[in-house]
Chain A
Amino acid sequence: MSDVLLPIAIATPLVAATLPLALGLKYEDAGWSVAAVATTALAGLAAGIGLEVARGGTLSHALGTYEPPIGIELVADELSVAVLVLVAAVSLATLAFARVAGPRGNSFYSGYLLLVGGLTGLVLTGDLFNMFVFLEIVGISTYALIAADRSGASAYASLKYLVVGTVGASLYLLGVGYAFLATGTLNMLDMQVQILEQASYADPLIRASYALIVAGLGLKIAVFPIHAWQPDAYQRAPDAVTTIVAALVSTASAYALIRVSYTVFTVDFLAANDAITTVMLIVAGASILAGSALAAMQSDLKRMFAYSSVAQFGMIVAAVALANETALLGGIVHLVGHGLLKFGLFLGIGLLALGYGARELDDLASAARSAPYTGGAVALLGLGLVGIPPSIGFLGKWYIGVGAVESSLGGGGPAGIGIAVVIFISTLFTLSYVARVIERFYFAGVGVPGGHGDDDHSDGHDDDDRGDGHAAEVAADGGHESATGDGGPLTPVEGAARSRFVPDRVPPASLAILILTAFATVGLGFAGYALFEWFDPFLTEVFA
């Protein structure tokens, strides 16, 4: 009867989402406590589901006792458990940061819990239309959260995301509609059978359906030509929101892509439709290159890592389109690893902005001197993003690269080698922007005791360079006045948290989580074989 854990895991955050608003009538700040209790419960449930899956394989539950394929089915297998654990862990960990960084208020936490509930449902559902509903729950709560700091710029970024995201979800729905017309079912496993029985892999309706689903989810994932909403949304959102959105929302859409491609349409479909996979590979390659190159041009840290996400998700889409076992394993590992890395990076950036009021790369000169632990963790995570072993970032990229080469050697044409080359070039780009961060943190201003001489120059220099953009940027930070111009290395903002154990002027609980995340990414890097063992049942089922 352990399958009842699945609906409970979805219901917990969704029901809890109503509480902050209801309790808000009486208590001023009930939101955080409710969210903390609900996400802790979700983490427990995720662990329970994980144990059940480890013990007995795939877990499934028929909602409302209507048996599938008529009723809606919830399914947890190795892949969904991995993403579910990521969702639970990140949503719990972000709360510690949200408590100190804001946005505050009960309605924010209602939206937060709705987002978490939507993500949980998206990961656990076994029904295509149900997946659309959860995709939209995730979407709507993300739009609301991005605009949660009530500034005009974030509202504009959020509206842009809303229009593009809704088109994406609608295209997905259209694709599901076509597949429904061809097969008359919505259950994923049933549709896998019915596509063969009632149609064929060459049926134009099925092909159009898959193409529309890929285009729709591609918009949500933000791959290159249709990524324009993503950097603005990540940059304008409040720091705590960026942390969870960057780590989970695109990840969940990419999970949906993997699920639909391999559970509904299967490897044979991809093999039978070269045209679709070739287009996907080209888009993925362009995404990897453009994302990395654009990231290397940015001076705002949040924007830099937002563009970097475009590149990393390009690799995951490439792994899906390559359709071989090694590449898919790499794609899944990179999906989880990238979520963890981006969570840590955006948390680190948020902490630096909170403690020192600095968001631009130039403002962060010798950050490692004033904030050695925060700077160190960000540097470690950045190196993980580059793919320096041992880090989970290395594992994912490595498997995708090996899978790409394998597919070429196995007669898959030059596309595989092309992807491998593109990944290599992108790694160099990633190294170039991560190295810029590390250089700023550790080497800028060396030899100037208690300060760094180039700070005053760089201010004047900035004004020539970028006009009033920079000054306005700083002013737009609101309460966080910039630390530059004082001549000191990196001056903490007034009232920044102080801790007895570390010199960093950042909130200690969030710092502990950041350091833990950094070590987790390295630790998981050593767990390559364990990860392979864990995903093996899913992969053998898919490639049977």
Chain B
Amino acid sequence: MTGALDAAVGVASVLASGTATASAFDVLTTRHSYVAFALLLCIGLYMMIANPNLVKKIIGLNLFQTAIFLLFITSAYVEGGAMPIVPEGAAETQTFVSPLPHVIVLTAIVVGVSLTAVGLALCIRIYDEYGTLRTDVLRDLLRDEGSLPERPAIGGNDGGEADE
């Protein structure tokens, strides 16, 4: 958490280029989208780790990815910048926001949507097979079925690692 925040502060100070002496309060008020990025990232990660429901894990994954999209979009913003669409023949006099991060985010959204689709398809298959989406119940069922190794039987080391 602090690592991500530090990084966000680092981002902010680089963007401020010159006025890098922003205090923590200034960062919170003027760079709030970076703070939002760090928060979303952490909430997403926490949901993936702590929530026992598989579908909610996938929702956490989406939050995590959305946070990264937000970082890219924020980095593209230029104060007073216009949309980077120039009609043919028009003079390029205005300031534009950077178009490249937008393209990147569009591509990343497509990737994220396909991932969500595959993940949900797998969830449906798991639900059809076992009738539950909770990882703890699922793990018990898999152990009964013999698909997961019995925990205490094999040395302690493996038991800790076999199915995180």
Evaluate contact between A204 and B10: CB separation under 8 angstroms.
Answer: yes
Contacting A at CB under 8 A, from B101-116, are 101, 104, 107-108, 111, 114-115
- Among A96-104, A142-150, A441-449, which stretch is in contact with chain B? A142-150
Is A293 a contact of B68 with CB atoms below 8 Å?
A: no
* A174 pairs with B71, CB closer than 8 A: yes
Tell me if B157 and A294 are in contact (CB < 8 A): yes
CA–CA, A155 and B118, complex, Å = 11
Q: Which of B61, B101, B147, B161 has a CB less than 8 Å from the CB of A163?
A: B61
Given A236-B147, A467-B150, A140–B114 Cβ distance below 8 Å?
yes
Docked pose: A166 CA to B145 CA in angstroms: 28
- A204 and B4 alpha carbons, distance in the complex (Å): 12
Given contacts A153-B147, A469-B146, A472-B146, contact A162 B71 (CB under 8 A): no
**Is B154's beta carbon under 8 Å from chain A?**
yes
Check B146–A166 contact: CB distance below 8 A.
no
- Chain B, residues 134-157, CB within 8 Å of chain A (1/0): the string is 000010001001110110011101
Q: Would B149 and A167 count as touching, CB distance under 8 A?
A: no
| Chain B binding surface SS class | helix
**Min CB distance, B149 to chain A, in Å?**
7
Residue from the list A162, A227, A468 in contact with B146, Cβ < 8 A: A468
Chain B positions within 8 Å of A155 at CB level: 122, 125-126, 129
Q: Does A196 sit within 8 A of B, measured CB to CB? A: no
Instruction: Tell me whether A178 and B7 are in contact (CB under 8 A).
Output: yes
Complex formed: what's the CA distance from A163 to B56 in Å?
A: 11
A460: CB under 8 A from chain B?
Answer: no
Contact string, B67-106, partner A, CB cutoff 8 A, digits 1/0? 0100110010000000000000000000000001100100
What are the interface flags for A156-172 relative to B under an 8 Å C-beta threshold, 1 for contact and 0 otherwise? 10111011001100100
A-B pairs under 8 A by CB, number? 133
Of B104, B114, B118, the contact of A129 (CB 8 Å cutoff): B104
How distant is the Cα of A162 from the Cα of B118 in the complex, in angstroms?
Answer: 9
- The yes or no answer to B54 lying at the interface (CB within 8 A) is yes
A294 and B158: CB pair below 8 A?
yes
Evaluate contact between B157 and A143: CB separation under 8 angstroms. Answer: no
Interface check B162, CB cutoff 8 A: yes
Q: Is the CB of B65 closer than 8 A to any CB of chain A? A: yes
List residues of chain B with CB within 8 A of the CB of A502.
none
A186 to B101, CA, bound (A): 11
Asked if B115 and A228 sit within 8 Å, CB to CB, the answer is no
Residues from chain B with a CB closer than 8 A to the CB of A144 are: 118
CB within 8 A of A140: which of B11, B75, B118? B118
In Å, the complex CA distance between A29 and B115 comes to: 27
**Contacting residue for A294 out of B71, B115, B161, CB 8 A:** B161
Asked whether B150 lies within 8 Å of A466 as measured between CB atoms, the reply is: yes
Q: Are A136 and B115 in contact (CB under 8 A)?
A: yes
Given contacts A147-B125, A181-B75, contact A153 B115 (CB under 8 A): no
Please list 19 pairs of residues, one from A and one from B, whose beta carbons are closer than 8 Å in the complex, sorted by A's number. A140-B115, A140-B118, A152-B126, A152-B142, A155-B126, A156-B147, A158-B122, A160-B163, A163-B58, A163-B61, A170-B64, A204-B6, A204-B7, A204-B10, A205-B14, A227-B161, A232-B162, A468-B146, A472-B146
User: 9 closest pairs, A vs B, by CB?
Assistant: A472-B146, A152-B129, A153-B147, A228-B164, A155-B125, A159-B122, A469-B146, A204-B10, A136-B111
Given contacts A129-B104, A228-B162, 15 further A-B contacts (CB under 8 A): A136-B115, A143-B118, A152-B126, A152-B129, A163-B61, A170-B64, A177-B72, A180-B101, A205-B10, A294-B161, A297-B155, A465-B153, A468-B146, A472-B146, A473-B146
